[in-house]
């Protein structure tokens, strides 16, 4: 488990600083090739690989800029040292480099464009997937009037807390999906067992995109059996996403009227959640909730936060 988390952190660090790392690797590759390789001109094809990576991960604009950067470095080396040719930018040298430079930049442009199209289509599929889950949740909750829209509000608040704590985008998305289904999962033990099995058993017919959310729902189903006054929640082996879901769910539940009590105002509900910080709820998640709840509704359209 510890090794997996270290790999996830390394992966997150790489993609967060991808542009800087990529430029550094390009410069290092240039230095190594031109200092240690005799047939330098033959190694110019090596730069197609980083252009493909730049287009796939950075998009069209970044790939074209990276291609221009590589061409400038190669021209610089040709001018001062020569690439299996006499140093300088005379006619035959430019004629040899121009086709390579053009195809290199074109490769980055084409791969970047394809990657952007793929990302757009993937975003459309995800939006349709989330819209389907939201409609399903509204339909399920329509049987109980006082709970209508509860899971959607929990999902919005949980996602906003996740962004406030700077969780990776995949974790925020899994958290949002888990929040949309948390009421169904914890009520129906058969569904809860199915979701729990889907985490480890690939034969269970749950989409791979649901497995991150299924793990959160599975842990949350036993949340209140674990936490309590006798245990420090910070020491419990619970994922941060599960702790966030607990805070968002409690905050929204307190603002709903029930047959036995009226709805709490927003700030009263927040104070009630804060009373459990460190015992029932994680301190970081509660602090993030206060920051999220303090934002004006009109100022948070991206987060979709709507608290009542």
Instruction: Please report the domains of the chain, with CATH numbers, ordered by start residue.
Output: 7-117 (no CATH), 142-299 (1.10.3210.10)
Distance separating alpha carbons of residues 256 and 152, to the nearest angstrom: 13
pLDDT, mean over the chain: 78
- Give which of 164, 192, 147 is closest to 290, Cα–Cα: 164
Q: Which of 41-55, 148-162, 206-220 has the lowest mean pLDDT?
A: 206-220
Higher pLDDT, 177 or 10: 177
The reported pLDDT for the residue numbered 94 is 87
Residue 286 confidence (pLDDT): 93
Q: What's the confidence (pLDDT) of residue 304? A: 43
Q: What is the pLDDT of residue 303?
A: 41
Helical H segments across 81-220, by residue range: 91-141, 150-164, 169-187, 189-200, 211-220
Please state the pTM of the whole predicted model.
0.59
Q: What is the Cα 296 distance to its own chain's centre?
A: 25
Higher per-residue pLDDT: 297 or 185: 297
Asked whether the predicted pLDDT for residue 182 surpasses 70, the reply is yes
> If you search the block for the tokens 């914890």, which residue do you land on?
186
pLDDT for the residue 273: 92
Phi and psi of 40, rounded to 5°? -70, -40
* Alpha helix stretches (DSSP H) within 201-294: 211-220, 223-226, 240-254, 266-275, 283-293
Distance CA 54, CA 287 (A): 38
The predicted model gives 72-85 an average pLDDT of 84
Highest mean pLDDT among 112-121, 140-149, 178-187: 112-121
- The percentage of residues in the chain with a pLDDT greater than 90, rounded to a whole number, is 24
Mean pLDDT, to the nearest integer, of 232-252? 89
Give the least confident one: 57-71, 104-118, 124-138, 222-236.
Answer: 124-138
The two tokens of residue 285 are 């998640």
Task: Report in angstroms the alpha-carbon separations of 53 from 43, 46, 64, 116, 123.
Answer: 17, 12, 12, 13, 20
261 or 274, greater pLDDT: 274
């Amino acid at each position: 488990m510890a090794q997996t988390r270290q790999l996830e952190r390394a992966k997150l660090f790489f993609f967060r600083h991808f542009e800087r790392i990529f430029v550094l690797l390009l410069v290092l590759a240039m230095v190594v090739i031109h200092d240690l390789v005799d047939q330098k001109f033959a190694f110019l094809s090596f730069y197609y690989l980083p252009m493909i990576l730049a287009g796939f991960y950075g998009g069209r604009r970044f790939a074209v800029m990276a291609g221009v950067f590589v061409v400038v470095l190669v021209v610089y080396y040709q001018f001062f040292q020569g690439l299996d040719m006499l140093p300088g930018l005379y006619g035959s040298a430019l004629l040899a480099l121009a086709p390579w430079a053009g195809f290199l930049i074109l490769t980055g442009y084409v791969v970047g464009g394809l990657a952007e199209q793929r990302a757009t289509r993937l975003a459309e599929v995800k939006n349709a997937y989330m819209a389907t889950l939201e409609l399903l949740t509204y339909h399920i909750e329509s049987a109980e009037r006082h709970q209508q829209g509860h899971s959607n509000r929990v999902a919005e608040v949980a996602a906003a807390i996740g962004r406030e704590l700077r969780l990776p985008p995949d974790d925020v998305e899994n958290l949002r999906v888990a929040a949309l289904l948390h009421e169904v999962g914890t009520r129906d033990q058969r569904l809860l067992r199915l979701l729990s099995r889907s985490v480890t058993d690939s034969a269970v017919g749950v989409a791979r995109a649901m497995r991150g959310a299924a793990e959160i729902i599975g842990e949350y189903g036993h949340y209140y059996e674990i936490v309590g006054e006798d245990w420090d929640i910070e020491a419990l082996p619970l994922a941060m996403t599960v702790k966030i879901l607990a805070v968002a769910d409690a905050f929204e539940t307190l603002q709903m009227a029930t047959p036995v009590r009226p709805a709490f105002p927003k700030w009263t509900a927040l104070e009630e959640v804060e009373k459990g910080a460190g015992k029932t709820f994680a301190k970081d998640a509660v602090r993030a909730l206060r920051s999220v709840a303090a934002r004006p509704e009109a100022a948070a359209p991206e987060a979709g936060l709507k608290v009542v």
